[in-house]
C-alpha cells in the first residue's frame, strides 16, 4: 500500500476499530442507559399522575378524623362513604374502635383484619398520630392510622406500574415505595431472580418510588432501541473516522512526521563534492539533506522538502542542518583553505531578518569563518520582496557568506535575480547538462546560460555531470566547476571525510 495513504489512514482505522470494540463491549451499558432513560420518563409521568392524588390523602384523612364520632354510627359510615366518593386516591375505608368496627360497606363488616400481621411496612409517627403504610393485594397500599382511641384503615387505588405486562417479561421489573430506609414492594421482586436498581423518583417530600429490573427485563425492553442506537453509534464513529482521515491530508501527516523527525534528530546531511575538473581538487561541497527514519529507511529530500518549504518547516530544518554541519566539521573549518560548504536555502529565508541574525550569530558563536559557508537559493520558488532580499543578501555577502543561484534556467526570473541581487555563482541545472550530446532543444539554452554567466562575470557550477562527454563539452566552454555522479554521489559525513582526505588532507588545504 502507498505509504502516505497508510500514514494518513492508520489513526482513523485504529480509532474505528477501538470505537467498534467499545460499542460492542458496552452493549449492556447502552441497554442500561436506554432502559434507565425510559424508566425515568415513565416515572415522571406516574409522578405527575399520583402526586396530587396521594398528597391529598393526608388532608382528606384529617378532615374525616375531624368529623368522625368514632362510634360506627350511621353518621360515621356515611362520612366514610362520602370520603371515598370525593377522593380520587382512596378505594376503601374502615374504622376500628374499642366497641365496634365499620367500613364503607356498613357496620361490623370490616374487610381488613390482618393488618397486624404485616411485617413489611413504612411507619410514621408525628406525635398526634402514627401510621403504617403496607403493600396490599393488587398493587395497592394499605395505610393504617393509629389514633388515640381508634384506628382507621384505608386502601389506595392500585399503583400503576412503569411497564405494562405486555411490554416486559414476567417478573422482570419490580417497583417499591420507600421512606427513610424502609421499603415496601408494590410490584414485588421474585426471590429467584437478580434485580438491579434502575431509577428512583421522589414522591412528596418523604417518599420515593424505586424501579428494579433483571438483565433479561432490560434487554427485552431495549432490544430494538439498542440495535438502532448501536447502528447510529457505528455511523457516527465512521463519520468521525472519515473526517479525521480527510482532515489528515498527506501534507498534514507529513508535517507531523517532519516535526517528529526533527525531535528525534532523524535528518542528516549528506555531502556531494564540487570538483575543479582541471585539477580534480574538491573546492567545496553541497549539503543535501536526507531523512533517516527509525526503521532505517532513507527518504529523499524531494519527498519532504517541497512540503517543508510550503508549510514553513524548512526554517527549522535549515537551522538544524547548519548546526549539524558545523558540529560535524568542528575544528576542521578553521584551517587555512578555501574549502567551503554550500547549503540550500529558500528565497523566503533570504527575505527573513531572523534567518540572517540566527546564521550570523551561530557562525560567530561557533567560531566558524563566514567564507566557509555559502547559500544556494533555488530559482524554482519566486522571491516575494526583492528589495528586502537584496538587503539581506548584501548583509550576508558583506559578512562573508556567498550566495549562488541554484537550478538556474528552470524557474522564475533567474536573470532578473542575477541583475538585482548580489549573487556571485550560477548553478546550471542537471536538466541542461543532460542535453549535452543530444538534439534536445534545451541544449541551446545551456549555451545561452553559459554565455550570459560569462558576460555577467559570474562563476558557474555545472550540476548533475555524469559522463566524460559532458565534462569535455563543458571544458570547451570554460566551465570547470562540476558536481555530479561522474565525480561522486552525495555521501554521509564519515565517507565524505575519507574522500576529502584521499583528495587532499583538509588540514593542508
DSSP state for residue 158 in the 8-state scheme: P
Helix (H, G, I), strand (E, B) or coil at 368: coil
Scan residues 353-412 and list those touching Ca ion (CB under 5 A).
376, 406-407
Using DSSP bridges, classify how beta strands 173-179 and 182-187 pair: parallel, antiparallel or unpaired.
antiparallel
For 82-105, b where at least 16 C-beta lie within 10 A, e where not — what string?
A: ebbeebebbbbbbbbbeeebbbbe
Considering only residues 370, 484, 496, 500, which one is a binding residue for ligand C2E as defined by CB under 6 A? 484
Q: Which residues within the stretch 452-471 sit at the binding site for ligand C2E (CB under 6 A)? A: 463-466
What is the Cβ-side half-sphere exposure of residue 218, based on CA atoms within 13 angstroms? Answer: 22
In 3D space, the residue among 393, 357, 388 whose CA is nearest the CA of residue 374 turns out to be 393
DSSP 185: E
**Residue 288's binding partner out of Ca ion, ligand C2E, none, with CB under 5 to 8 Å set by partner kind:** ligand C2E
**Contact characters 134-163, ligand C2E, x per CB under 6 A:** ------------------------------
Closer Cβ to ligand C2E, 217 or 484, answer by number: 484
* Closest distance to ligand C2E from the beta carbon of 417 (Å): 16
| Contact of residue 425 among ligand C2E, Ca ion, none (CB under 5-8 Å per partner type) | none
d(CA 32, CA 49) in angstroms, rounded, equals: 25
Q: Which runs of consecutive H residues, i.e. helices, occur in 113-163?
A: none
Q: Which helix (H) or strand (E) holds 160?
A: none
Residue 235 interacting entry, from ligand C2E, Ca ion, none, C-beta within 5 to 8 Å by type: none
Cell of residue 378, nine digits:
533555488
168, HSE (Cβ side, Cα atoms, 13 Å): 22
CB of 256 to ligand C2E, least distance (A): 20
What's the closest the beta carbon of residue 381 comes to ligand C2E, in angstroms?
Answer: 9
Draw the binding track, 408-437, toward ligand C2E (x: CB under 6 A; -: no contact).
Answer: ----------------------x-------
Total of residues contacting Ca ion (CB under 5 A):
5
Q: If contact means CB under 5 to 8 A according to the sort of partner, which of Ca ion, ligand C2E, none does residue 346 touch?
A: ligand C2E
CA dist., res. 338 & res. 348, Å (int): 28
Helix (H) or strand (E) segment spanning residue 95: strand 90-97
Q: Which of residues 331-360 bind ligand C2E (CB under 6 A)?
A: 344-346
| Contact status: 490 vs ligand C2E (CB under 6 A) | yes
- The residue assigned the cell 535528518 is 267
Q: How many CA atoms lie within 13 A of 122 on its CB side?
A: 20
List the interface residues with Ca ion, window 446-505 (CB under 5 A).
Answer: 463
351 binds, among Ca ion, ligand C2E, none (CB under 5 to 8 A by kind): none
Site string for ligand C2E, 299-328 (x = CB under 6 A): -xxx--x--------x---x--x-------
Looking at beta carbons only, is 157 or 463 nearer to Ca ion? 463
State which residue, 94 or 407, has the beta carbon closest to Ca ion.
407
Told to check if 173 binds Ca ion by CB under 5 A, we report no
Nearer Cβ to Ca ion, position 60 or 407?
Answer: 407
Residues, the chain: 509
Scanning residues 335 to 354, which ones bind Ca ion (CB under 5 A)? 344
- Measure Cα distances from 237 to 8, 34, 361, 490 in Å: 17, 19, 51, 48
Give whichever of 318 and 344 is closer to Ca ion, judged by the CB atom: 344
Q: Residue 245 is placed in which grid cell?
A: 482521515
Please answer whether residues 157 and 89 qualify as being in contact, where contact means their C-beta atoms are separated by less than 8 angstroms: yes
Are β-strands 373-378 and 340-345 bridged in parallel, bridged antiparallel, or unpaired? parallel
Q: Which is nearer to ligand C2E, 247 or 412 (CB)?
A: 412
> How many Å apart are CA 364 and CA 362, to the nearest integer?
5
Q: Which of 155, 159, 156 is nearest to 43 (CA)?
A: 159
Instruction: Provide the 3-class DSSP secondary structure of residue 199.
Output: strand
Whether 481 contacts 277, CB under 8 Å: yes
Binders of ligand C2E among residues 27 to 86 (CB under 6 A) are none
Reading the block at residue 229, the C-alpha cell is: 442506537
Instruction: Say whether 119 sits in a helix, a strand or coil.
Output: coil
In the list 231, 485, 498, 501, the residue contacting ligand C2E (rule: CB under 6 A) is: 485
CB of 291 to Ca ion, least distance (A): 17
Residue 483 makes contact with ligand C2E by CB under 6 A? yes
Comparing CB distances to ligand C2E, the nearer of 94 and 406 is: 406
From the CB of 26, what's the least distance to Ca ion, in Å? 57
Place of cell 566558524: 368
In the shown chain, the binding pattern of residues 264 to 303 toward ligand C2E, with x for contact by CB under 6 A and - for none, equals --------x--------------xxx----------xxx-
Could you tell me the CA-to-CA distances from 333 to 325, 358, 501 in Å, in that order?
10, 19, 14
Q: Which is nearer to ligand C2E, 76 or 429 (CB)?
A: 429
For Ca ion, the closer CB: 344 or 349 = 344
Shortest distance, position 376 Cβ to Ca ion, whole Å: 4
Q: At what angle do helices 250-263 and 3-25 cross, to 10 degrees?
A: 100
List residues near Ca ion by CB under 5 A: 344, 376, 406-407, 463
* Residues of the shown chain interacting with ligand C2E in the complex, contacts defined by CB under 6 A: 272, 287-289, 300-302, 305, 314, 318, 321, 344-346, 378, 406-407, 430, 463-466, 483-485, 490
Amino acid at each position: 500500500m502507498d505509504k502516505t495513504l497508510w500514514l494518513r489512514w492508520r489513526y482513523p482505522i485504529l480509532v474505528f476499530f477501538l470505537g467498534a470494540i467499545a460499542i460492542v463491549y458496552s452493549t449492556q451499558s447502552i441497554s442500561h442507559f436506554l432502559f434507565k432513560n425510559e424508566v425515568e420518563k415513565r416515572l415522571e409521568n406516574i409522578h405527575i399522575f399520583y402526586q396530587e392524588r396521594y398528597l391529598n390523602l393526608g388532608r382528606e384523612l384529617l378532615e374525616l378524623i375531624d368529623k368522625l364520632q368514632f362510634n360506627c354510627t350511621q353518621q360515621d359510615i356515611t362520612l366514610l362513604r362520602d370520603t371515598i366518593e370525593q377522593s380520587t386516591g382512596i378505594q376503601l375505608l374502615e374504622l376500628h374502635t374499642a366497641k365496634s368496627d365499620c367500613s364503607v360497606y356498613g357496620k361490623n363488616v370490616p374487610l381488613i383484619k390482618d393488618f397486624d400481621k404485616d411485617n413489611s411496612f413504612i411507619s410514621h409517627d408525628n406525635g398526634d398520630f402514627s401510621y403504617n403504610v403496607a403493600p396490599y393485594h393488587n398493587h395497592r397500599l394499605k395505610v393504617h392510622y393509629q389514633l388515640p382511641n381508634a384506628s382507621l384503615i384505608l386502601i389506595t387505588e392500585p399503583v400503576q406500574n412503569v411497564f405494562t405486562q405486555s411490554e416486559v417479561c414476567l417478573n422482570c421489573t419490580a417497583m417499591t415505595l420507600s421512606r427513610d430506609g424502609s421499603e415496601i414492594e408494590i410490584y414485588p421482586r421474585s426471590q429467584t431472580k437478580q434485580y438491579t436498581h434502575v431509577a428512583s423518583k421522589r414522591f412528596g417530600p418523604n417518599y420515593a418510588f424505586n424501579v428494579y429490573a433483571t438483565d433479561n427485563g432490560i434487554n427485552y425492553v431495549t432490544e430494538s432501541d439498542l440495535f438502532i442506537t448501536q447502528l447510529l453509534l457505528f455511523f457516527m464513529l465512521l463519520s468521525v473516522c472519515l473526517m479525521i482521515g480527510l482532515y489528515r491530508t498527506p501534507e498534514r501527516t507529513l508535517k507531523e512526521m517532519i516535526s517528529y523527525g526533527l525531535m528525534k534528530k532523524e535528518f542528516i546531511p549528506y555531502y556531494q563534492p564540487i570538483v575543479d575538473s582541471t585539477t580534480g581538487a574538491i573546492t567545496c561541497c553541497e549539503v543535501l539533506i536526507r531523512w533517516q527514519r527509525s526503521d532505517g529507511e532513507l527518504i529523499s529530500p524531494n519527498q519532504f522538502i517541497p512540503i517543508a518549504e510550503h508549510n514553513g518547516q524548512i526554517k527549522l530544518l535549515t537551522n538544524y542542518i547548519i548546526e549539524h554541519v558545523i558540529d560535524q566539521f568542528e575544528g576542521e573549518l578553521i584551517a587555512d583553505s578555501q574549502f567551503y560548504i554550500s547549503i540550500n536555502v529558500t528565497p523566503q529565508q533570504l527575505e527573513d531578518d531572523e534567518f540572517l541574525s540566527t546564521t550570523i550569530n551561530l557562525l560567530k558563536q561557533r567560531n566558524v569563518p563566514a567564507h566557509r559557508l555559502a547559500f544556494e537559493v533555488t530559482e524554482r520558488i519566486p522571491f516575494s520582496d526583492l528589495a528586502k532580499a537584496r538587503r539581506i543578501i548584501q548583509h550576508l555577502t558583506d559578512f562573508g557568506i556567498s550566495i549562488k543561484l541554484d537550478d538556474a534556467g528552470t524557474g522564475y526570473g533567474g536573470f532578473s535575480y542575477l541583475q538585482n541581487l548580489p549573487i556571485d555563482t550560477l548553478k546550471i541545472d542537471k536538466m541542461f547538462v543532460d542535453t549535452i550530446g543530444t538534439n534536445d532543444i534545451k541544449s541551446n539554452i545551456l549555451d545561452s546560460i553559459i554565455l550570459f554567466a560569462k558576460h555577467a562575470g559570474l562563476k558557474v557550477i555545472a550540476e548533475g555531470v555524469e559522463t566524460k562527454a559532458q565534462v569535455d563539452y563543458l571544458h570547451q566552454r570554460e566551465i570547470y566547476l562540476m558536481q555530479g555522479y561522474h565525480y561522486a554521489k552525495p555521501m554521509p559525513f564519515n565517507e565524505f571525510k575519507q574522500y576529502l582526505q584521499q583528495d587532499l588532507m583538509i588540514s593542508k588545504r
